[in-house]
Amino acid sequence: MLTIDFLKENNLILFECISGSRAYGLATENSDTDIRGVFYLPKNMFYGLEYVPQVSNETNDIVYYELGRFVELLAKNNPNILEMLATPEKHILHKHALMDEIKMEDFLSKLIKDTFVGYAYSQIKKATGLNKKMFEPMAKERKTVLDFCYVLDDARSFNLRDWLEMKSKQFTDFGLTKIPHFKDVYHLFLSSDEVKYKGIVTHLEVNDVVLSSVEKDAEPIATMIFQKDAYSAYCKKHKEYWDWMEKRNEERYQNNANHKKGYDAKNMMHTIRLLQLALGILKENRLSIEVDNREELLKIKSGFYTYDELLAQGDELMSEISIYNELSDLPEKPNPDWVADLIVNLRLKLYQ
């Protein structure tokens, strides 16, 4: 397994910089230090069976991209990768001479309209997703299959747990058989002293019902449906919520909880910053990541504005981006043949 230590011990790092808030000029006293960089695979590993596109630490605060992956993402005008090339000199920790051949102006294109705006939309979605996590908490104990089962009995429907309580029965007292042509619908049979079925589930931790073998002349006492898709969606949401609870940045969480605006303020700050950055590129054909409106952006981070106000600001920026994209003399996209030649020549120089 390729590690950051291995990259450093074998002098495989071509570029290393401080990124994120510190590079943008938006850092506060509690800001983390993010590191991004570029490395290259040794010749035998590059021509081997497994290509490693990136290496990172456990928290992803430190990420290095393999040279080929880095150039590939540059050609797609990926915002995070373009920003690495625009890192101010004071935040560059290491730079191999070969990196001078990868020039920003050769990669900037009208693709940024889609990549930057697309990334901004994803951040907006991420920002609002926090609202549900904060104000719609989920119980630590996960629901079971039984909570997503319903019984049709005497032309009435019941939640399975309510129905079992009404009948004074346990889930182990029954057996199920599938009903042909009906998805996740089952006949429900009651066990007897002579015949014992497998139960509705084998135990409460399983993720599906269990089927039993039933005599041909046995009569079902009811019909049951298992809302399997709803159960799967719930399990996914439950896992995401408790993963977030365990890994969340407590200070950031408290900041969002205190402003009570229903969004992740830090994500929204970077969304607006990113859209402003894209607009600047289309206006001036250059990329500068150090902000000149620090106080305004930090007001967004503090939760000063309502979500609707920020959406309106974002919509206005997106409209301007569309207008200047039409006026820009940037190419539609980087020349793919030139990009291919560049990466080949860079590797040849490294491996020779």
Domains annotated on the chain, with CATH: 1-107+334-352 (3.30.460), 110-137+249-329 (no CATH), 145-232 (no CATH)
pLDDT tens string 270-302:
899 999 999 999 998 889 999 999 999 999 988
Q: Tell me the C-alpha distance between 272 and 121, whole Å.
A: 10
pLDDT tens string 11-27:
999 999 999 999 999 99
Q: Tell me the C-alpha distance between 119 and 284, whole Å.
A: 21
Token code pair at residue 94: 């290491």
What is the arithmetic mean of pLDDT over 241-259?
61
**What is the C-alpha end-to-end distance of the chain, expressed in Å?**
25
pLDDT(50) > 70: yes
pLDDT(46) > 90: yes
Tell me what pLDDT residue 138 has: 77
pLDDT(256) > 50: no
Tell me what pLDDT residue 162 has: 95
Q: Tell me the C-alpha distance between 160 and 196, whole Å.
A: 20
Look up the pTM and report it.
Answer: 0.65
DSSP string, 35-89: EEEEE---HHHHTSS----EEE-TTSSEEEEEHHHHHHHHHTT-HHHHHHHT--G
pLDDT tens string 312-325:
898 899 999 999 99
Contact between 257 and 248 under an 8 Å Cβ cutoff? The reply is no
Give the SS3 label for residue 209.
coil
